[in-house]
Amino acid sequence: MGCICSIIPNDVLRRLAQDESLTDEARQALTRTALVDQELRKIREQARQFTAVAQSVAPTPEALAPAPAVTVYNCNHTQTLPGAPVPNPANAADPSAQRAFTEATAVAQFYQLLFGRDSIDNYGMTIISSIHFGVKYNNAQWNGTQMLYGDGDGQIFVDFTGGNDVIGHELTHGVTQHTLQLAYADEAGGLNESLSDVFGSMFRQWQADQDVNAADWLIGSNIIGPAAKANGLTCLRDMANPAAPHCLAPQPTHYSQYQPGMDPHYSSGIPNLAFYTFAMAIADPQFPNRQPAYARSWQTAGRIWYNTMFLGGALPNMTMHQFASRTHAAAVLLYPSAPEIDNALSAAWTKVGV
């Protein structure tokens, strides 16, 4: 497991840490983040393995609660998790605490209202968030059991609780952990990252009540700091144009560009573009038998992607071709009388070479 499952790729942190145009303070913060992330990755992978074993040996559990409790803790710039509890985070004076609570609660509602899912594990799991993790920590991640957020260095990145798509992205890693149980390497790792980008973007669109044409399809635009913006960088990734130069981490757009061992933050561009292409195709006014729901990413395309996470059970080493095949099965299951939807899906996967 050579890759670290957090919103900022480790190689980006290391590359920026070598950028002499940045201040020494910013470069040191980037270096510290990369070192800490290497160890946090081990916790994440252990949690994934534990989830797989627990689900294989335990009977189906009863739900903890009909809706998850959402709690927030303050690390106060230490790296001690979870930190000190924040009382009444919904009304906290600290805006980071408020955002962490509000957005985590909204993600839980998003999964409940749209997909009938009860929290991360579907059994009412408490959602724990820790803010102000570390000193100028340049990342956010789901560590296998909870969320943690850094404040950023103020130059390249700013407070990671400011990105609702970032929060949706990272909490979706938890959903994937409890469904497909995808490993974080090779093609499965790319799918793992892509699912988080897809649902993170979908969550952002749902909150803004945007159709696919109004959405910007950017990931992480709200956590980009002033120094990065000054260099023309506007986001981490762009699902509509993964290779765009305005992305901090441009991605491949075709399966022919995939290489074994590629960092999942990059290979995810391939399925990301497939989802975007499919969502845009069925939203086109000229699409056969088009329904209004097709224009909302979470109502049609999103339902297919969500159901794909369940069809056939967990498959930790899933390939992109296997995932594409399951999306077809989900489309036929959900829309048996609308073959045009599956045809659009085929065209989207063909476009990216899968």
- Residue pLDDT, tens place only, 45-61: 666 666 667 666 666 77
State the distance between the two ends of the chain, measured CA to CA, in whole angstroms. 24
> How far apart (Å, rounded) are the C-alpha atoms in residues 21 and 110?
41
How many residues make up the chain in this entry?
354
**Digit-coded pLDDT (tens) for 127-151:** 999 999 999 999 999 998 999 999 9
Instruction: Find the mean pLDDT for residues 173-179.
Output: 94
Check whether residue 210 and residue 65 sit in a common domain. Answer: no
- Could you list the beta-strand ranges (E) of 132-275: 140-142, 147-149, 218-219, 237-238
pLDDT band at 2 (very low <50, low <70, confident <90, very high): very low
Tell me, yes or no, whether 212 and 273 share the same domain: yes
pLDDT at residue number 43: 63
Residue 14 has pLDDT above 90, yes or no: no
Residue 63 reports pLDDT greater than 90: no
Grade residue 1 by pLDDT with cuts at 50, 70 and 90: very low
> Which pLDDT belongs to residue 193?
95
Instruction: Give the up-direction half-sphere exposure of residue 21: CA atoms within 13 A in the CB hemisphere.
Output: 8
The answer to whether residues 166 and 58 belong to one domain is yes
> Is 173 in the same domain as 207?
no
348 vs 256: CA distance, rounded Å: 15
Beta strands in 66-219 (DSSP E): 70-74, 84-85, 127-131, 140-142, 147-149, 218-219
Q: Based on the fold, state whether residues 16 and 157 are members of the same structural domain.
A: yes
CA 102 to chain centre: 17
Range of the domain at 125: 10-177
- Residue 175: exposed, middle, or buried by beta-carbon count in 10 A (0-12, 13-18, 19+)? buried
- Pair of tokens at residue 218: 């950017």
Distance CA 207, CA 213 (A): 15
CATH classification at residue 327: 1.10.390.10
Asked if residue 347 belongs to a domain, the reply is: yes
Confidence bin at 258 (pLDDT 50/70/90) = very high
In this prediction, residues 275-282 reach a mean pLDDT of 98
CA distance 227 to 229: 5
Per-residue pLDDT at 41: 65
Residues identified as active-site:
170, 265
Interval 16-49: pLDDT, tens = 888 878 888 888 878 887 777 666 666 666 666 6
Would you say 173 and 142 are in contact if contact means Cβ atoms under 8 Å apart? yes
Cβ pair 8, 149 in contact under 8 A: no
| Domain count within the chain | 2
Q: Is 16 found in the same domain as 165?
A: yes
Tell whether 135 is covered by a domain.
yes
pLDDT of residue 39: 66
Q: Pick from 108, 142, 177: which residue ends a domain?
A: 177
Q: Mean pLDDT, to the nearest integer, of 152-159?
A: 94
Prediction pTM value:
0.92
Domain containing residue 55: CATH number: 3.10.170.10
Within a domain: 258: yes
**What is the mean predicted confidence (pLDDT) over 256-266?**
94
Quick one: 346 exposed, middle or buried, by C-beta within 10 A (0-12, 13-18, 19+)?
Answer: middle
Dist. CA 105–CA 167, nearest whole Å = 11
* Residue ranges of E strands in the chain: 70-74, 84-85, 127-131, 140-142, 147-149, 218-219, 237-238
Instruction: Say yes or no: 214 and 101 in one domain.
Output: no
Residue with more model confidence, 126 or 38: 126
Residue in the block written with tokens 């820790």: 130
- Tell whether 142 and 244 lie within a shared domain: no
Residues 206 and 286 placed together within one structural domain of the fold: yes
Residue 226 falls inside a structural domain: no
User: How large is the average pLDDT for residues 344-353?
Assistant: 98
CA angle 334, 191, 33 (to 5 degrees): 140
Write down the residue that tokens 């499952």 correspond to. Answer: 5
**Residue at 5 is within a domain:** no
Predicted confidence (pLDDT) per residue in 308-334, tens digit: 998 888 999 999 999 999 999 999 999
Q: Are 231 and 168 in contact (CB under 8 A)?
A: no
- DSSP state letters, 297-333: TTTTHHHHHHHHTTTT---TT--HHHHHHHHHHHHHH
What is the average pLDDT value for the chain, to the nearest integer?
92
Distance CA 213, CA 26 (A): 37
- Amino acid at the residue 52: A
Identify the pLDDT of residue 25. 84
Q: Is residue 263 part of a domain?
A: yes
Paired with 84 in beta bridges are 74
Query: Same structural domain for residues 73 and 171?
Result: yes
Q: What is residue 46's predicted lDDT score, i.e. its pLDDT?
A: 66
Q: Across-strand partners of 85?
A: 73
- CA 266 – CA 197 distance, rounded (Å): 12
Beta-carbon contacts of 19 under 8 Å, excluding residues fewer than 6 positions away, are 27
- Cα–Cα dist 171/306, whole Å: 14
Q: Is residue 77 part of a domain?
A: yes
More confident residue, 112 or 28: 112
Give domain status of residue 4, yes or no: no
Domain identity same for 253 and 321: yes
Residue 47 pLDDT: 61
207 and 147 housed in the same domain? no
